[in-house]
Amino acid sequence: MKVLHIIPTLSPEHGGPSESVWRLVNGLQQQQLADVSLWTTDVDTSIKHIDQCQKQFPGVVFFGGWRRPVKEFSVEFTAELLRHAKQFELVHIHSVFNYISLVSASICLRRKIPYVISPRGMFQPWSLKQNEFVKKLYRLVFLDRHMRGARGIHVTSDLEMESLQREFPSARIANIPNPLPQVHGPGPPFLERFPELRNKRILLYLSRIHPKKGVAELLEAWRRVTDGFPAWHLVLVGPGRPAHVKAMQVSITRLNLNQRVSWLGPLFDAERDEAYRAAELFVQPSYQENFGNSIAEALALGCPVLTTRETPWKILEERRWGWWVPMSVESLAGTLREALSLAPEELRAKGREAKAWIETECSLPAVSQKMSDWYRNILQA
C-alpha cells in the first residue's frame, strides 16, 4: 500500500500537527504497515530541522514554499504532485485552509486518486471564527467540495468528530488519536540546567505561545492565586512568533509576575521530557484543541493535568486524573487554588493512574495499526 502524506509545514513553530504527523509516518514505515512518503514545504523550517528530518526519514521531501500569494504557496510542490500523484494508491492530506491542501485535493479529484483529509481542528468553532468571512468564502468555493470528495475524514477526538458530523453528516469519519512521542531516557537534569527553579514546586505550561492557547488568561489566573502559594512557580515552555512572545512578556511585567514566572523558550526531546518530570502539575488552558499533544505527553510521563473543556479530555474529570474546567480566568483561578493545595503525593497518584491508560491508547504501534487498517478499509470500499 503506497501512501503519500501531505502537510503544509513540519516547522516546530506550527505546533502539534507537525509533530504528530511526523510520528505517524515514521510509525507506519517502521512497522511496515505501508510504503509511506511525506511531502511538505520549507516554510518557517530551519535548514538544521530539514537535515534532521531527512536523516531520520528518507521518504520526506521538502519543497520550496512562500507565504504569498497565499499561505504555504509552492509552485514546485504543485508541479511534482501533478507529475507523480498517480504513483500513490492513497493520499492523506493534513490540515485545510491553505494552498497545499487546496491544490492536493484539487489534483486528487481531477485525477480520481483516493484521498482522505485530517482537518486538524480547523472545523471547530474557535478556528472557524478566525478570519470568518474569508473562511466562509473559501469553503463555498473550494473546501466543502473537497471534503465531500474525500474517501474519509480523520479526526483525533470525540470533540472534533462532533464538529465534523454537524458539517458533513454523510462523511465516513474515523476517530484515531495522535500517537505519543517516544519517551526519552534521562536527559540533562532539569534543575541543573535551570538552577533558579531549585526548591520550587513547578506548575508547567508547555505548548506554543499563541492566543489560542490561553497564555494571557493563565497569567491573569496565576496573578490572582500566586500570593497564596509561595512555593509554586509557573514555568512556560514553548516556541512562539515574536509578536506573541512580546505580548506575553509585557503581560508578565504588567501583572508584576517577573519573580513568579519563567519562560524558557522551546525544549525538545529529552530536555522536554525532563520538564514534564520536574513538574508537579501541567496546565493547558486552550480555547481549542482537537487533540492536545502536550496533554497526552504530560500524562505519559506521570504528570497530572489541568485543562479546559475546549479540549477533548473529559476523561480527566471522569476518572479523577486531573481537572477539566470551563475556559475563563475565574474558573482557572479557582481550580488552581484547589489543585495547588494538594500534597505532592496526591498529585503524583493522579499522574500514575493516567500514565498506564495513555500509554496503551496512544502508543505509536497501536495508532499506526489503526491508521493502516482504516486505509485498507477505505481502499476496499
Residue-wise pLDDT for 108-150, tens only, equals: 999 999 999 999 999 988 899 999 999 999 999 999 999 999 9
Residue 374 CA to residue 365 CA, distance in Å, equals: 14
Residue 271 CA to residue 181 CA, distance in Å, equals: 13
CA distances 347 to 92, 302, 337, Å, are: 40, 9, 13
Task: Please report how the helices 75-84 and 99-111 are oriented relative to each other, as an axis angle in degrees rounded to 10.
Answer: 20
**Domains parsed from the chain with CATH numbers:** 2-179+363-380 (3.40.50.2000), 190-361 (3.40.50.2000)
For residue 62, the cross-strand partners are 40
pLDDT in tens, 189-212: 898 999 999 999 999 999 999 999
Contact call for residues 364 and 183 (beta carbons, < 8 A):
no
- DSSP state, residue 143: I
Q: How far is CA 92 from the centre of its chain?
A: 17
Strand locations in the chain (E): 2-9, 35-41, 60-63, 90-94, 115-118, 152-155, 173-175, 201-206, 232-237, 261-263, 281-284, 305-308, 322-325
Q: What are phi and psi of 173, to 5 degrees?
A: -115, 130
> Given this model, what pLDDT does residue 16 score?
81
pTM of the full predicted structure?
Answer: 0.87
Which parts of 226-343 fold into alpha helices (H)? 242-254, 269-278, 293-300, 315-318, 329-340
> Given this model, what pLDDT does residue 268 score?
86
Residue 378 CA to residue 155 CA, distance in Å, equals: 15
Dmax over CA atoms of the chain, in Å, equals 63
Residue 227 CA to residue 197 CA, distance in Å, equals: 18
Phi-psi category of 286—alpha, beta or left, where left has phi over 0 and alpha has psi -120 to 50?
beta
CA nearest neighbour of 371 among 94, 34, 17, 15: 34
Pick out the chain residues at pLDDT < 70: 184-185, 187
Q: Hey, what amino acid is at 216?
A: A
CA nearest neighbour of 151 among 184, 117, 201, 194: 117
